[in-house]
Amino acid sequence: MLKSAFTPIFSAIPFKAGTPTLLHSSITNSFASAQEPVRQNASLNTTNTIFSYQQPPTSAYIHLPFCRKRCHYCDFPIVALGSSSNQANDDDPRISNYIQLLCREINVTKSENLTDPPLETVFFGGGTPSLVPPSLVSSILDTLRAKFGLCVDAEISMEMDPGTFDDTKMKGLMALGVNRVSLGVQAFQDELLKACGRAHGVKEVYEAIEIVGSCGVDNWSMDLISSLPHQTPAMWEESLSFTLEAQPKHVSVYDLQVERGTKFILYTPGQFPLPSETQSADFYRMASQTLSNSGYSHYEISSYCKEGYECKHNFTYWKNKPFYAFGLGSASYVGGVRFSRPKKMKDYMSYVQNLEKGVVAVNTVFDANDMAMDVVMLSLRTARGLDLRSFGEAFGSSLMYSLCKAYKPYIGSGHVVCLDEQRRVMTSDEFNTLILNEDEIDRGLGYIRLSDPDGFLLSNELISRAFGVIAP
């Protein structure tokens, strides 16, 4: 089912703090701790550019953990500043001291090579990054620019919550190069926002939308959450309708995940006051149909956009490309290793100090099965799907063939779609003919992807089935 957790990717891809996402924890745990050494597998073809862990990172995630208060569904590492914290945080030592620490981490991090290309994307996530003053954001960008280089046309994204910025702050951030905004709206009903523990109301939502528009931010996204306590289909339809009226270029739709250690742990998924699993699936189908009918491309399980407005930074994750990450609880993927930083501030401070002393070591070997599972899970999140030829070149044609055979029943049911190399959708009969001969399927089949929305809704089972083939 859709109800699942894709937390900062298997503790590695840094998504919105505490934001509900789309894969079950049993799947994400299959990737193990990024700090554990894994084995080299000589059969892995690392020359394949799609799956090569040796590519130099061209993206950086920056975790800014500050919030006014913790939302009831959030289990992410944050620093609660207090509900009165709003626009003016220029002199808050909790923020300035953290930024200094974060910049120290950036400065002491080893770049892969002196000739590596500059950063193409930077993503400020949290937390609520819009609580950080532009002057301190500037110091982070200056440090990144000096350490790694920063493309003139780099995509620089920032998560922003309603009520935490005005037009002056917005223009100040834009002057620094912030050119993409992810607005954490979540719902258009005050009662739902209050039930979630959000620090803003609907009034602040519309004020934020007005500021974004008046300041000329063209590339902006709106975040929504479905399956909230007491949320009805009519409420969800209303939120989608108001989203369309606001005309964001990008929309992210997440399904609530109940996490341990949060106030929502009192709720049982699928039971009142949470919607049933059937209702949650209907919410997902409604979002897919509503947004698709309004010109948004459903390019990733939880992401929709107008043409040309895909999030470039998130494509780093979906394509399994390396990326830097800095800050409390963040996780990087460099040299084939996913490495998470401490989630408690005191431990993070010690981590940076040890990094400066040169006593933090990361084992850089890897396991081909882990990488293959990474590729399958990330690829099947996207509308493009899994490139079977590249997968076969990297991990072996026999594994690719076994994967296709495992998906045969789901191709018949329509949950998995097969395409040829020209991306023409193939019929189930065509696939069944190809599957009779391993050599034929290697030449005739180009991609497999999950259908929208039913295949995406079954993503947990489908990805688990792939994992069973890769590492039985």
Backbone φ/ψ region at 175: left (φ over 0), alpha (ψ -120 to 50), beta: alpha
pTM: 0.88
In whole angstroms, what is the distance from residue 157 CA to residue 223 CA?
Answer: 14
* Average pLDDT of adjacent 10-residue blocks, the chain of 472 residues: 31 34 30 29 43 80 94 86 67 93 95 80 96 97 96 97 96 98 97 92 97 97 95 97 98 90 82 91 97 97 97 93 95 87 95 91 69 92 94 91 94 95 92 83 87 95 95 88
Beta carbons within 8 Å of 324's beta carbon, 6+ residues apart = 57, 59, 60, 61, 109, 119, 148, 332, 334
Contact 123, 60 (CB under 8 A): yes
Contact 406, 467 (CB under 8 A): no
Domains of the chain: 51-319 (3.80.30.20), 368-470 (no CATH)
Q: According to the model, what pLDDT value does residue 366 have?
A: 64
Q: According to the model, what pLDDT value does residue 116 have?
A: 81
- Tell the burial category of 234 from Cβ atoms under 10 Å away from its Cβ (0-12, 13-18, 19+): exposed
Contact 235, 241 (CB under 8 A): no
Q: According to the model, what pLDDT value does residue 365 have?
A: 56
Q: How many helices (H) and strands (E) does the chain have?
A: 18, 16
Residue 249, classed as helix, strand or coil, is coil
